[in-house]
Every structure is written in C-alpha cells, then in structure tokens.
Amino acid sequence: MEFLKRCPSCGKRFVVKVDREVLVDKEEDTVKRVRDLAMPRAIAGGGSFMPVAALTFEIPIERDTFEVSYECKHCHHQWKETLVVVKKEGAKGKPTSITRA
Ligand SMILES: [Zn+2]
C-alpha cells in the first residue's frame, strides 16, 4: 500500500509506503442524539410547528485505533502515526429518554 504523504525527514512527497497497519485498540461507545418532536400549531392553536418534546437516542459506535508504520523510500526514515476510525450505526431503536417541552 502506497500513500501520497510527505516524509517528515526529507520532506519529499510520493515516496512513502505503508509498512504495516496494526489494530491496537477497539472501543465501543455511545453518542447521544436529540431529536425534537413537533406538533402542528394548527392543532395546538397557531400557525407553524410547536415543539412538544425532545427525544434522546443513544447511538452505539465503534472506535478503532490503528497504528500505521510508514517508511520513506527515499531516505528510509521510519515513523508511526495513530489513525482513529469511527464507525457509526444508524439512529434506530427507541429513545432512551423523552423530555417534555
Ligand atoms: Zn524521506
């Protein structure tokens, strides 16, 4: 695998190859999403929409941490970088909490 990267040692581009990519950490986490629930004001007695409640969803995500080793083909400088990839899942399921507006 080759990368269009800049070597931190000699500063040349297009001369970097990825040596290896190692999964060092896998983390499961959740992120919170709040969605407003609105109701037409015509029903509530008005013109537009009126928020009636806020729904809170907890979305499970996966956070993968990779350690990527690079080697410059030009000067053979070697270095490592940490790459974090977040995989998100859709906001499905039931809300975990409902707050009335
Ligand atoms: Zn270099």
d(CA 38, CA 100): 11
Q: How confident is the model at residue 14 (pLDDT cuts 50, 70, 90)?
A: low
CB count, 10 Å around CB of 88? 11
CA of 9 to the centre of ligand 1 (A): 5
Instruction: Find the 25 Cα to ligand 1 centroid distance in Å.
Output: 28
* Ligand 1: centre distance to CA 85 (Å): 26
Band of pLDDT at residue 65, cut at 50, 70 and 90: very high
Ligand 1 midpoint to CA 21 (Å): 19
Spatial contact of 35 and 59, defined as CB atoms under 8 Å apart = no
Average pLDDT score, the chain: 79
